[in-house]
Each structure stands twice: as structure tokens, then as C-alpha cells.
Structure 1
Amino acid sequence: MAQLLGLPVFGPDGESIGKLRDLVAGLRTDAQPPRVLGVVVELATRRRVFVPMLRVTSIDAGAITLSTGSVNMRHFTQRPNEALVVGQLLDARVHVTATGSPAVVVDVAMEPTRTRDWVIDRVAIRERTGRLVRRGPVQVVDWSQVRAPGVLELAGHPQAAHQLLAVFDSMRAADVATALQDLPSKRRYEVADALDDERLADVLAELPEDDQMDLLKHLDEERGADVLGAMDPDDAADLLAELSDRDKERFLELMEPAESAPVKRLLEYSSDTAGGLMTPEPIVLTPDSSIAEALARVRNPDITPALASMVFVCRPPSATPTGRYLGCVHIQRLLRDPPFDLVAGAVDKELTSLRPDASLLEVTRYFANYNLVCAPVVDDEEHLLGAITVDDVLDHLLPEGWRERQSRHTGVGTRA
């Protein structure tokens, strides 16, 4: 069933509906195989809806096809006797009935019955030794051959997250954040514990404020500081600004000085000003740098497309706050000019800059007037302090709680 994740879903006339994101199973208290109640489909609008299995007409290696009929678009609320196959069953700990050996669920398989129901009839498991999973072969057994398969003891025992992380590996951080919001708290914590600091930092930045705070409180202080240090300074500053002064100072003390310094500078500004919106880590070059060097910098996959849309030219030092700001070079100009030319000859000196105390309204008008996705923030002494990207502006323009509303709209659909 894990191999179905991400498959395209088509309607009866071949029209694209969306992608399969999970399956919902009804758990049982006896040894009978659980019934697959339906699938979770993510529409093109990123809304996630529940589609009953009776609406699924075909499943193959390349696509899933639905029959005609209406789909309930309301938000799915998981019932006590249900489980998300990928979100909860994979990596669950079980015991093999015949031997009593502990094992971990690697995957599960389903098949149709004579009554047109789909049931989970087989389980792929790998045995465990203590807290470690053996590197032995995967065994495929009947559902009845694992102990307590009806409930899988999901509420009381920790699950590993290897299979779920494998699913998340190819997803964008924003999509992983949405998926995490659909998981029970216990499972969400297990995934957070298993993610590396950099990946967790990216996901944390995409979560609603309440979920950010919840996960940060779950982490121990030292790891929380490491994750904050791995976040973009502006995202870390936004999160720290919501903490008490005591907690904020504690995390800043635990962070590496090189990571906490830009965050401290950002915390000096109000969150709805240019200074509070900016990132202090734009691409900065000295005037004697070449076009080729500038292009190499914007090719960095860790730089967002918006931030890579222009480089800023300043006198040394090139770390923010920089030396005297000379101007910016747009990526289109970098692509047109010979690679051996200097960036000093391609500088746009006519584009005005924003002051750190500029209001959100002023920043919004600036982006609208100049049709930009990135803008420089310069102080009164002409030092470059940072850059604002359009996504930072949108985060503050959208209504409060927009991430929670997105989660509700993109969550699993409820049953008809």
C-alpha cells in the first residue's frame, strides 16, 4: 500500500482529480483483517478529501480510477477505530504470533473480497532486536500472524518513523507540514524526533504558530536550539518572538553565536516592518566579483528562488550589515552579460531601497510598484541590512491563522 502513495487519481472520463496521499483503515479488536474504508486524495487545489473504496473502480501501478458520484468535501475527523495506513500503521511495532519475536511493520497489502470490500490481509515485517531493527530479510505474513493486529497498540507504544520518512523524503516542506497536522500528536512527535535538524527546521517554518510552539516544547532545550539555529534567521526570530522573555533568552544562549547574532538583530525590529520581515542572509558580492561568480552563487539549491532573483553589490565587509550599498544586479542581467565581466558594470543603481522601519503597507506598495520578488533593506548610513522576499510579505498579508485554515481545507475528507 505504501507504493500507492503519490499515484495520480483520475475520474471516470479520464480527467485528473489529484494524487493519493493515504488510505483509511477500520481497525478491529479481533484477529480478522481490517477493512480499508477509503483513500485520501489531494486535489489540485491542495484540498484533501476522503473517497470511499466503493468509488474506486481500478488500482494499478500507474494510476487509480474513480467511478461517478459526489464526494463529501468536509474535513475528516479520524474516529477511534480507524488508522491512516501510512501515517500510523507503517513502522508500528508488533509481535509474530508463532515465535513471539518483536517486529516492525514495513508495509501492508490489501486485496478485494467477494463482497467488494478491500481488506488488509498481509503484513510485511522486519524483526527487531532490542531497540534496533535487524538487517535481515523482510517477511510477509498473514494479518492474523502478528499479535494484537486489531489495535496494534498505537496509543501506548512508540513507532519508528523510517517508512513515513521515506514517504516524506520526496515531499516539499510545506506538504510535510500539512501531513504532520493530520497525524495524532504522539505520531507527530515521533516523526519530529526522527527528522534531522535541517529538515525539521524547514518543516517547522511551514507549520502554524500553535503547532510550532507545541513541537518546540516537545524537543529538549539543546535540540530545540539546534533546530532554531538551522532555521532561516527570520523564521527563527518570528518563532522566538512568541516565547516568554525567559525562554527566548535561554534558546539564544544555547544557540551558536554565529547563528544567534542575526536572530538577535531581527528581534530588535517590529515583525510588521521591513526590518522584521527581512532575512539577513541575502547574496552579497563585492564590486570586483565576476558575473560567473554571481551565477554560481544563485545556483545554490539552498537559496530560495525569490532570494536568488538578485544579488546585492556592496563595499567590504560583505556580511550584513555590509559596507556601503552600491546597488543590485537582477538575475536576467546576469544571464545576458559575459561571465568574465564584473558585477560592478551590471549594477542597477536606480532601484530604490527600503528602510528597516518601513511599514508593511510601504513594503507591499514597493513590491507592487517595481514588480519584484526580492527587495533590499538599507539603513541611513547606506549599509545593506538584509533583503525581503515576496513570500515573507504574503505571510503577513494573509489573514491570521491562514495556515490552520489551509490545514482544514487540505486535510483528509470526511465520509459521505
Structure 2
Amino acid sequence: MTEATPQPLPESAATIHLSQLLKSPVIAGSGESIGRVDDLIVRLPGGDAYPPITGVVVGVGGRQVFVSSEHIREFGADRIVLSVNKVDLRSFERREGEVLLKADILGHRLIDVAAAELVRAYDVELDETPEGWVLARLDTRRPAQLFGLIKSSGGHASRDWKAFEPLIGHSGSKTARGISVRLRGLKPAELADLLEDADKHERGEILDQVHGDPELEADVFEELDSDQSSKLLDAMSDSEVAALLGRMRADDAADSILELRQARRRRVLDLMPVGQRVKVITLMGFNPNSAGGLMNVDFVSCTPDSTAVQALSAITAAPALQPEALLKVHVVESDQLVGVISVITLLQAGPATPVTDLMDDDPVRIGPEADLTDIALLMADYNLYMLPVVDDEDRVLGVVTVDDVLEDIIPEDWRRREPAPRPVREPASAAKTGTQNADGAAQQ
């Protein structure tokens, strides 16, 4: 079944900016002013709906009270008029799942999903629909300032609400929203970048979301820089760390173990699944910057009497391996490397073709003690994406992939440089009118 395309809001009869509405008077049905607007309440619905305005937080005589949207007769930029003459003067208490636009959104950072970056909301746009008022768009452009005072920009650079994922610290709201489909749609490297840019509270919410998908959590931790990963692991229990490392690639798990305090390493290792523990301990025996320390001990192999279709079946039977480790099949006899075949060669060959007719019987290989420079030079000279690591008797110990080499060879200061801008795709429900460019400016 194909996924339904998100539908944009219909042309609105009216649009109000939250900044205009805050502190506006709230008028009773009798015409008497009873207070001023302190905040607006929305609920973040599931699916692809826009959040409806469910109520207003009104400041009345030094306290905050709740007025339901059902009791609002007129919703304007300069005032709110009620359909009742009296309001319940009990102090407002937030209920589970409620989001406050001023307290939770305005001035706070959200995730711009298309750009995979944290941006700040400087204003909120509300639209009137046949079903009521809804949160429709955000203005993420910093207002111009003159001598420290906000200067009007002459218009709002608003973008569709559905382009963002809010980070709301209120525990009841987080629980009600559950795991965000939009957030889980980001790549692990993008989520890692967000975590590295986030403050303590933002980081906590992103981690809570990621933690709901154990495999995604492992992928994200593989992408984190060592300092950030170490800090996050320090805040976790031994059993949580062991479970996480048990799902990670063995080489990345070994690096993470070494980042732990010495006193924790043995405890965490003892709690890890036996198979993963053996792999990690093996890798910890090598210098982290050597081929042995960089290699992944999982690789695809077949015997010399295999056919092309059987070699391809070995790849199909290894869904848990990283894609980079599936680029070649290693032909192994009595634990010794006798040849290597690329996946492309196997795909182009007849199914019954013997692998011995297809393989490179003298493949480039490297010893576990080789350093990063040796690995990089070999990969560059022979145009390789993967190198088998063998011992003195030509037994395959693992494979080093080009992504591992790049990760270690890139200077640390390069990692901190601002990435080049990339096109931002708005959701299909994007702007009410016109299209939006990458920095939020409206094109009419």
C-alpha cells in the first residue's frame, strides 16, 4: 500500500502570529476584559495533521487560568473574545500531551528535519481552518536588530510546521508523542551531528527518541565522536552499555570499551553477549590505529568449490553485516585466503560459474600491524574499498573498509568545520502560498 501524500492546508481565511497575540486582552461575552493572553495550548496529533489550538492560558489577577477553545467566539490578532461571561479561576495545570506555544516552542530550538540541523523558532503562525485554529508554520529567521532592539524585517519567512520536529522537555508531552517517525527517518550520522550540537536538555530528548529503536541507537553511537560517545556512555548503567555495544559493529564496540573508565571495562564486557565479547576482546588486542584495530571481524566467505550463485547466497545470508563489508566475497580454504571476488563480477557471471574462474587468486592483503598510512596508500594505489587483514599464515582475521580509514584519517579540526549547504526539501504540505528556499525566505 502506498503512503498517502501529506495534504497542505487549504487557503486560510486568516493568519495570526503568536507574537501579536501574546498579552492581547481576553474579553468576556459581556464585553468585560478579564485578563490577557499568556500562552496558547496545542496537542500534537499522530499522523499528518496540524496541531489544533485546544485552549488559552489567560493571566488573571496574578494567576494563570485555562480557557477552552470551545469557549472562544472570536480569535483575533489584537484580542480574544469569549462566548461565556465567566471563566474557571482555578490555576492552570498542564495536562499530559499538552504543548505550550510560548513556553515550549517560541525561542526554543527544533529539528529542521530536511536540513538535519537545530534551528530556533522566533515566531509561530496560526491559521484558521473549518475545524478551528491550528499551528501552521514557524518563523526560524532571526529578527534584525538595531542598537540591541528588534527591528521589523518587513515580513515573515515562515516554513511549514511539518518540516520540523519539536524538542519539548515536558515529560507528559514526550510520552504522549511517542517515537517520532520524522526523527527516525534521519540518517544515523545526521542524528549523531544533532546530538553533538544539542544542549543537555535537547540531547536528552533526542536520546529518548533514539533509545526507542535499539538498532538505530547502535548505528547513531557508531557515528558519534569519541568525546561525545564517552560522555553519553558514562551516564548509562553497565547493563545499558553492554546491551548497546552488543548491537554495534565489533570494531566500534571495541573503541567504545576503550573509552570507558578502566574500572568499568571488565564489568561491561562480562555483561555483553558471548559472541560479541569474543570479537571485541580480539580487537582490543591490537593497536587501535593499526589494521587489526580498525578491521571488522565479520566478512563474507565461500569455499573454492562454490559457484557464483552460491557465493551470492552467502551475501544474502549476512543481512547484519555492514554494506561496505559485502562488496567482496573471500574465497577461503582451510581458513586460508585463496582469492577474492567482487560482487559485480558475481552478478555478471553465469549462476553455475565456478568461483575459481572468477576470483583474483593473488588479492591485495595486509597484516594486522600495518598502520593507517600503509592502508590508505594501498587502497589508493589499487582503487580498493576494502582490504582483507591476514596473519602470517594467510588466515583471514577481518577486513578494513574505506569508511573506517576515512574516519580515522580526517583531521579533527575538519570534523568541526561547517558543512556545505545542501538543498532543503519541504514536505509536500509546504507553504500556504509560494515555495520556500533553503534559508526560509518566501518566494512568491
Q: TM-score, normalised by structure 1?
A: 0.62
| 1:314 aligned residue (328, 332, 335) | 332
Instruction: Give a deviation string over 1:189-228, Cα, whole Å, max 9, x none.
Output: 2332333221101001111212111221222221211111
Give the alignment of 1:228-267 within 5 angstroms. 228-267=245-284
Q: CA deviation at 1:360?
A: 1.0
Give the alignment of 1:250-399 within 5 angstroms. 250-298=267-315, 302-315=320-333, 323-399=335-411
| 1:160 aligned residue (170, 174, 191) | 174
Helix, strand or coil: the match of 2:281?
Answer: helix
Q: 1:328 to 1:240 in 2, by over 3 A?
A: same
Helix, strand or coil: the match of 2:243?
Answer: helix
CA distance in structure 1 between the aligned counterparts of 2:395 and 2:223, rounded to whole angstroms: 30
Q: Find out whether 1:182 has 2:176 as its counterpart.
A: no
Q: Which amino acid aligns with 1:313?
A: V
1:217 maps to 234
CA distance in structure 2 between the aligned counterparts of 1:395 and 1:163, rounded to whole angstroms: 33
CA distance in structure 1 between the aligned counterparts of 2:167 and 2:298, rounded to whole angstroms: 46
Give the alignment of 1:39-54 within 5 angstroms. none
Give unmatched runs, 5+ long, in structure 2. 9-17, 24-36, 42-50, 58-65, 69-92, 106-121, 136-165, 423-437
Helix, strand or coil: the match of 1:31?
Answer: strand
Q: Which amino acid aligns with 2:350?
A: P
Instruction: Give a deviation string over 1:164-211, Cα, whole Å, max 9, x none.
Output: 631122221111212233333223223323332211010011112121
CA distance in structure 2 between the aligned counterparts of 1:168 and 1:183, rounded to whole angstroms: 14
Contact kept in structure 1, 2:98 and 2:173, CA below 8 Å: no
Q: 1:153 to 1:346 in 2, by over 3 A?
A: closer
1:103 maps to 96
Helix, strand or coil: the match of 1:377?
Answer: strand
| Higher RCO (C-alpha under 8 Å, 6+ residues apart) | 1
Q: CA deviation at 1:101?
A: 6.9
Q: Which amino acid aligns with 1:119?
A: V
Q: Which amino acid aligns with 1:31?
A: D
Q: TM-score, normalised by structure 2?
A: 0.58
Contact kept in structure 1, 2:39 and 2:56, CA below 8 Å: no
Q: 1:164 to 1:211 in 2, by over 3 A?
A: farther
1:171 maps to 186
Task: Give the percent of matched residue pairs that are identical in Structure 1 and Structure 2.
Answer: 28
Q: 1:140 to 1:182 in 2, by over 3 A?
A: farther
Contact kept in structure 1, 2:97 and 2:172, CA below 8 Å: no
CA distance in structure 2 between the aligned counterparts of 1:327 and 1:107, rounded to whole angstroms: 63
Instruction: Give a deviation string over 1:5-52, Cα, whole Å, max 9, x none.
Output: 9x9xxxxxxxxxxxxxxxxx9897962569xxxxxxxxxxxxxxxxxx
Q: Which amino acid aligns with 1:160?
A: K
Q: How many residues align?
A: 303
Instruction: Give a deviation string over 1:235-260, Cα, whole Å, max 9, x none.
Output: 11112122222222221111011111
Structure ID, larger Rg: 2
| 1:191 aligned residue (184, 190, 206) | 206
Give unmatched runs, 5+ long, in structure 1. 8-24, 35-89, 111-116, 124-138, 144-151, 317-322
Helix, strand or coil: the match of 2:180?
Answer: helix
Q: 1:342 to 1:98 in 2, by over 3 A?
A: farther
Q: Which amino acid aligns with 2:206?
A: V
Q: 1:140 to 1:200 in 2, by over 3 A?
A: farther
Contact kept in structure 2, 1:266 and 1:276, CA below 8 Å: yes
Q: Which amino acid aligns with 1:347?
A: M
CA distance in structure 2 between the aligned counterparts of 1:340 and 1:305, rounded to whole angstroms: 25
Give the alignment of 1:110-149 within 5 angstroms. 119-121=124-126
Contact kept in structure 1, 2:301 and 2:314, CA below 8 Å: no
CA distance in structure 1 between the aligned counterparts of 2:232 and 2:420, rounded to whole angstroms: 19
Q: CA deviation at 1:278?
A: 0.5
Q: Which amino acid aligns with 1:281?
A: D
Contact kept in structure 2, 1:95 and 1:103, CA below 8 Å: no
CA distance in structure 2 between the aligned counterparts of 1:252 and 1:313, rounded to whole angstroms: 32
Q: CA deviation at 1:159?
A: 5.0
The Cα RMSD (Å) is: 4.2
Q: 1:383 to 1:33 in 2, by over 3 A?
A: same
Contact kept in structure 2, 1:197 and 1:226, CA below 8 Å: no
Instruction: Give a deviation string over 1:270-316, Cα, whole Å, max 9, x none.
Output: 11111011100011222233322322344566444422211111125
Contact kept in structure 1, 2:167 and 2:205, CA below 8 Å: no
CA distance in structure 2 between the aligned counterparts of 1:157 and 1:237, rounded to whole angstroms: 34
Instruction: Give a deviation string over 1:330-359, Cα, whole Å, max 9, x none.
Output: 122112211123323322112231000011
Contact kept in structure 2, 1:270 and 1:276, CA below 8 Å: yes
CA distance in structure 2 between the aligned counterparts of 1:264 and 1:407, rounded to whole angstroms: 36
2:38 maps to 31
Q: Which amino acid aligns with 1:170?
A: G
Give the alignment of 1:60-71 within 5 angstroms. none
Q: 1:339 to 1:106 in 2, by over 3 A?
A: farther
